[in-house]
A and B are shown apart, each in its own frame.
Chain A
């Protein structure tokens, strides 16, 4: 049971928009700690997709965007492409646990 809750899977057709949610609590996201998002392609290490809630590292397409409100955060992917099929993880900090926490991960399927 992860401290940050993500849907196990989402899917969408090419060109569509999908949103992946990350729900936390008052000791992590709700406490104001930043949320970061990672993409993990099969057999590869994670790669940071969004940092500091809304920021994209250079090289990440603007089809990927992040938002945060209250105790939740979201990753939106527009113009879905086949190469977006991957696992996506949110990450934050929890002051009750005193450490980094990850969401359980969401598998994105492009239909």
Chain B
């Protein structure tokens, strides 16, 4: 069955960097665009970034442009999110999700999420 497993979260200090990873299994990974969505404690879902199936196109929310970088390795079936210059407001559960079809499509599979806490 389809599985997405995130890792890399933890407690980090402001200004530092972190790399989140999402390992995929159970489907043809290289055929799907992948997305990161975050959810601050007690708050709603916020789209962060999307990468196309082959990695050539990357899209970011304005709030993270320049600090976040999404990438993928289709051989290892992983998608990653590099987060630089971490801020307290980056504290959230980060979910990776699979996008079905075109740009405006839904996210049909989600991981369990990895918690990032930015605190000194």
Contacts and interface: CB of A to CB of B under 8 A. Distances in A.
A100 B111 contact: no
Interface of B: 35, 37, 44-47, 50, 59-62, 95, 100, 103-108, 110-113
A57 B45 contact: no
Dominant secondary structure of chain A at its interface with chain B: strand
Contacts of B45: 38, 40, 46, 89, 91, 102, 105
Contacts of A57: 108
A34 B105 contact: yes
27 contacts: A34-B105, A36-B105, A36-B106, A38-B107, A44-B112, A45-B95, A45-B110, A45-B112, A46-B95, A46-B107, A46-B110, A48-B107, A51-B100, A51-B105, A57-B108, A89-B45, A91-B107, A93-B103, A93-B104, A97-B61, A98-B59, A99-B62, A100-B35, A100-B50, A102-B47, A104-B44, A105-B45
Contacts of A47: 110
Interface in A54-111: 57, 87, 89, 91-93, 97-105
Contacts of B61: 97, 99
Contact of B47 (A48, A51, A101): A101
Interface residues of A, number: 28
B59 A91 contact: no
Interface of A: 2, 33-34, 36, 38, 40, 44-48, 51-52, 57, 87, 89, 91-93, 97-105
A99 B44 contact: no
Given A89-B45, A100-B47, A104-B44, A52 B111 contact: no
